[in-house]
Amino acid sequence: MNHFKQIADCLKQYDLDAMLLTGEANRFYASGFHSFGGDGVSLVTGDKCYYFTDSRYTEAAGRQVQDAEIREIGRGRGYSVLIGEAVAAHGIHRMGFEESYMTVQEHETYRSALSCELIPAAALLRELRSVKDDAEIEQLIAAQRIAERALKEILGEIRPGVTEKEIAARLEYLMLHYGAEQMSFDPIVVSGPNGSLPHGVPGEREIQNGEFVTMDFGCIKAGYCSDMTRTVAVGFATEEMQRVYRTVLAAQEAGIAAAKAGVTGREVDGAARKVIEQAGYGEYFGHSFGHGVGVEIHEFPNASPLNDKPLIAGAVLSAEPGIYLPGALGVRIEDVIVIRENGCTDITMAPKELLIL
């Protein structure tokens, strides 16, 4: 699976002759081949595409990259030289680059070496990646199923005396065991009073009876990320714990019900936020309802108070409201949804009712 053609078809819209892709995520999106960091460059022109890499990746790229010519850099023939040859061959005058990813040093290197104008054009890839095709959604679902299998198994291991770090390590192992390539991000496992830290780091704290454990985790399968959060209670749940949990779940359901093409990210966020505010917890929900999920764990679009643009069918978003009471507890419930014309599809299958282990 690659997106060379989709990128090429957008060049005229952005008044470009070519698009230079140096960032790891966009390079993968274009070619369907993953290499780390700066170990590769892709170039898309109106009539031909290229994938430049070094000898460590040439054979692997040859097996996976389709619809592009693969060229290998070498001593005295680095990326700038090979790109320069393509610039001359195709008469490229305006070349887009990813200003959101390229460093100042890289920009200066290419600017001085290439006989064309470099045009900031990260928006081209951002807009394309904001809408997923059917093949991409299949990969997102596959990654989600792996995370769900890990969740189902880890629930049998959460008990008093087990540490946050142990649960996080087991989640990583289980996702790899069930087919993940790597983690979408370092798992977040927080318990009891640490639950009020939305992005808390798992530590040596031992889980206790009568407290929540929040687990936020995901993995990468075929280059696409999963993302989910579940909060469970150990032993028992107090009245306040149950009230907070019900509020978060109702907020998530309200946001999901509001999500459809044509509705703004602000409106989706507002539907969930209203539930939390009416329950008296408004000041304890500080982040947005959700963010885009795809090749990267955070991408466009998002469902936040700042996004006044209508969502487009095919966008994929997390749905993750939360309530965080400082030094006491926290609850977050997260699914991943696909925006449709008349609603949305929740691709997360894991149950959401309050589970007391």
pLDDT one-digit tens code per residue, 3-62: 999 999 999 999 999 999 999 999 999 999 998 878 899 999 999 999 999 999 999 999
What residue ranges do the domains of the chain occupy?
Answer: 4-129, 134-346
Length of the chain in terms of residues written: 357
CATH of domain 4-129: 3.40.350.10
* Strands of 182-183's sheet in order across: 182-183, 219-221, 224-225
pLDDT one-digit tens code per residue, 238-295: 999 999 999 999 999 999 999 999 999 999 999 999 999 999 999 999 999 999 999 9
DSSP string, 125-138: HHHHHTS--HHHHH
Contact status, residue 311 vs residue 115, Cβ threshold 8 Å: no
Give the residue-averaged pLDDT of 64-87. 94
Least Cα distance to 70 among 35, 106, 96 occurs for: 35
Distance CA 331, CA 197 (A): 10
pTM above 0.85, yes or no: yes
Q: Does domain 134-346 have CATH number 3.30.70.20?
A: no
| pLDDT bucket at 158, cuts 50 / 70 / 90 | very high
pLDDT one-digit tens code per residue, 86-123: 999 999 999 999 999 999 999 999 999 999 999 999 99
Contact status, residue 171 vs residue 199, Cβ threshold 8 Å: no
